[in-house]
Amino acid sequence: MPTICIQGATLSYEESDIIAFDEGLIGFPHLRRMVLVRQSDIAPFLWLVPLDDERLAFLTIDPRTLLADYASHVPTDVRARLMCDAEDRLLMLCMVVMRADPSRSTVNLRAPVLISARAMRGLQTILADSSYRVDQPLLVAEAA
């Protein structure tokens, strides 16, 4: 079983857990293969780890834990881009920037990462017609 190391913790994953990102991520077009890793002591956060550059690890959170209606803002073309149908449940993640002072931590609600677990395909999109911010204060979003 392959492993990755994140902040000194060795975490394992299965080859079947690899998610294909045909377009990479915004600002990182070369990152095409990633795994999503749970680490119990940071829940509800998850690590999104690019296998193309294991020096990186993105801290993420499901935005629906912060804002119940978040899914209604996702563009309708996402399912076609992920090559999945209406029955597929999409995993939604937003990137988090955790600061030494937690009250200064932010979440990028403007550019979510969407993953089809059935197809094992993912993409990052921009919510162009949204008032969500790329640097939404995490604690403010949590209280919303």
Compute the distance between CA of residue 114 and CA of residue 123 in angstroms, rounded to an integer: 6
Write out pLDDT tens, residues 34-73.
999 998 889 999 999 999 998 899 999 999 999 989 988 8
**Other CB atoms within 10 A of residue 31 CB:** 20
| Residues 144, 139: Cα–Cα separation, whole Å | 9
Q: What is the pLDDT of residue 143?
A: 42
d(CA 44, CA 142): 12
Residue boundaries of the structural domains of the chain: 3-143
Superfamily of domain 3-143: BH3618-like (2.30.290.10)
Tokens of 103: 């009250």
In percent, the amount of the chain with pLDDT more than 70 equals 97
Separation CA 32–CA 121 (nearest Å): 10
pLDDT in tens, 62-87: 999 999 899 888 888 888 898 888 78
